Structure formats: C-alpha cells, structure tokens
Amino acid sequence: MSTAPRKILITGGLGFIGFHLARRVSQEPATELVLVDNLARGRLDAEAKALVARENVTFVQADLTDPGCLPALGGGFAEVYHFAAVIGVANVLERPEAVLRVNALSVLYLLDWMGGGGGERLLFPSTSEAYAWTRTFHALPVPTPEDVPLAITDVGNPRASYAGSKIFGELAVTHACRHHGIGFAIVRYHNVYGPRMGTAHVIPQLYERAVVERKDPLVVYSIDHRRAFCFVDDAVDATLAALRDPAGDGQTFNIGNDREETAIGDLARMILALGGVEAELVGRPAPNDPITRRCPDIGRARRQFGFEPAVALEPGLRRTLDWYADFYGVPR
C-alpha cells in the first residue's frame, strides 16, 4: 500500500541557500517539493530550470507580501523553510524600508497560514548580523554563542533594517509557533558561500576584480577583518538537521565553520592563487562594515545533532570559483 508523498515548501527556493537546499531535498524519496520565489533575487537559470523540471518539484512565482499567496498553495506541508527575504548591503543601505516591509510581512503571513494548518514544522533562517549591535552594550565573545543578548541601537541607521527584520522574525516565529503548537527551529548563518551565490558578496566580488578584470593593484576592503566562511553544502546539512532533530525543537543554532577563521586579505590571496593571477593587494576601509571579527560558536549544533563542517575553505573556494569561471566565461 503506497503512502502519500511528504510535502515540503521552500520559500525563496531559487535564491542562494534556498536553491541548494531545494536541490538536496528534491532527491529525497517520496517527497513533493514546492518552491516559491518572486525572482527578485533568485534566478531561473539553466540549473534552476533543471531543478523545477523534476517530476516531484513545483515552482510558483509569487510575492509573499500578498496575503493570498500561501493559502493558494493549500496546506498539509510537513516542513516549511522560509528563505524569502530582501538581503544584501545595497538593499539595506538604499532600500531599508523595503527590507523591513518584505521581511516582516512575509513572515507574518507565513505564520498566519501555518497556524491555519498550512505546515507542521518551520525553519527560520536568521543571520550573524543579529549580533552586530550587541557590542554597543555588552562585551561580545568571539566565537559567539547563541545566548548573547541581541540589540538594535540606532534605529535611524539603515544597516539596522536587516538585523532588525531578522530579530523581529525570530520573535514572531518563536511566539507564533509556540501559540499554535508548531514545531520550529531558527538558524543563524555565518558567511555561507558557494556556487550560485550572486555577485554582491565578498568572494565573487574579489574574483571579478582579480581574475575577470585583472585589477593590479587589487583593492581589498576591510583587509584585516576576519570571517569564518562556511561552504553551502555544510550549511544545508546543518539546516536539515536543525529542523528534523526532534530534540532541537524551539532552539536557535549558529551555522558556520569555526575551524578556519580567515582574514579578508588572506582570502584574497587564496582567490588570486586559485585563479592563477598575481597582483599587489591594497587595503582600504569599507564603509558600513564596523564588525572586525565574526566567528560562530557552533557547540550547540555539534552537541545536538553532531554537526561538523566537512568542506575546508580551499576546496570549497575551488568549487565556488570553478562555477564563477563558467559564469563569467573565464578559461580554466
């Protein structure tokens, strides 16, 4: 006797992490996957077309700030992953009102729908940016654990729009899910990278200037700042485990790689070496980048579901830059 397939919904399913998660989930047996994306940032490129062409995948182009969007999908989803959001430094600085509006409305409408039977369990992706303002009031330990206080100080600073919207989302998810008896987990991503991440992040930006445009000297912003980069496959592993481990219900998990905290200048040197390019590095301060060091404490994820980043920075960068070489048409 056959059983009905398990229904899974990923909003923002053609964005960066959403796409990689969707590709993984689509390969699971007896799964019916629905992807919702408005294509404002996600791309219906050849990879995405191949994904949505699979028999068990349905793609819906829709705007989640429309309150009728999710009810039109029906209900009964076993898992919901809410990746739809406005992100990116340019959006944060130039359109903070849109960041707040889209990120707040989409999560509120999602929670209303789930409370009415739309879904059984919810994964909410938050961000390391939630910790960015804490240091104004408290000493911020690095590596940073999940239980440090979260704060927003200057509400007039456009940069606060993204962190504020994600902190609001964490509040909304926590209390609405508790009220409706919906299982949930929150993950705070730390510098996730990989193929298909767009062009507005430090790794593709450095690759474009260094390898595509052959800039020499190569300007590196925040050259002494340190980050802990996490390959997207590892982030997907941890995301699935966070929602599916019953003992993790209602918890918040840092997701990242604490093993290879790396200066941006060293990252640039690795990109030059992998791209077969030589250039002098010139460091310059980056506007609106006050956080000199980010590194997650992932002890909770290690203890809870045995998460251990498997992809080191060099091979992860190689895989990422191979994708961007094809994207830009750079010979390899």
What confidence tens digit (pLDDT) does each residue in 259-277 have?
Answer: 999 999 999 999 999 999 9
154 and 225 inside one domain:
no
Task: Say which residue, 138 or 300, is predicted with more confidence.
Answer: 300
Single out the residue in 189, 218, 240 at which a domain terminates: 189
pLDDT at 133: 86
97-132 per-position pLDDT tens digit: 999 999 999 999 999 999 999 999 999 999 999 999
At residue 24's C-alpha, the angle toward residues 239 and 36, to 5°, is 80
Give yes or no for residue 1 having a pLDDT over 50.
no
Residue 184 shares a structural domain with residue 50:
yes
If asked whether residues 155 and 201 sit together in one domain, one would say no
The pLDDT score that the predictor gives to residue 43 is: 86
Does 279 have pLDDT greater than 90? yes
Give yes or no: residues 176 and 282 share one domain: no
Range of the domain at 268: 194-229+258-332
Query: Do both 200 and 181 map to the same domain?
Result: no
- Which residue has better confidence, 223 or 153? 223
CA distance 1 to 270: 54
**Residue 327 amino acid letter:** F
Instruction: Give the tens place of pLDDT for each residue, 79-103.
Output: 999 999 998 888 888 999 999 999 9
> How many alpha carbons lie under 13 Å from residue 38 in its C-beta half-sphere?
14
Same domain assignment for residues 41 and 139:
yes
Whether the per-residue pLDDT at 2 is higher than 70: the answer is: no
Percent of the chain with pLDDT over 90: 86
Q: What are phi and psi of 142, to 5 degrees?
A: -130, 120
| First-residue to last-residue Cα distance in the chain | 51
Closest CA to 297 of 147, 144, 125: 144
Query: Do 293 and 226 touch, CB atoms closer than 8 A?
Result: yes
Burial class, 326, CB count within 10 angstroms (exposed 0-12 / middle 13-18 / buried 19+): exposed
In a domain, 68, yes or no: yes
Instruction: Indicate the number of domains in the chain.
Output: 2
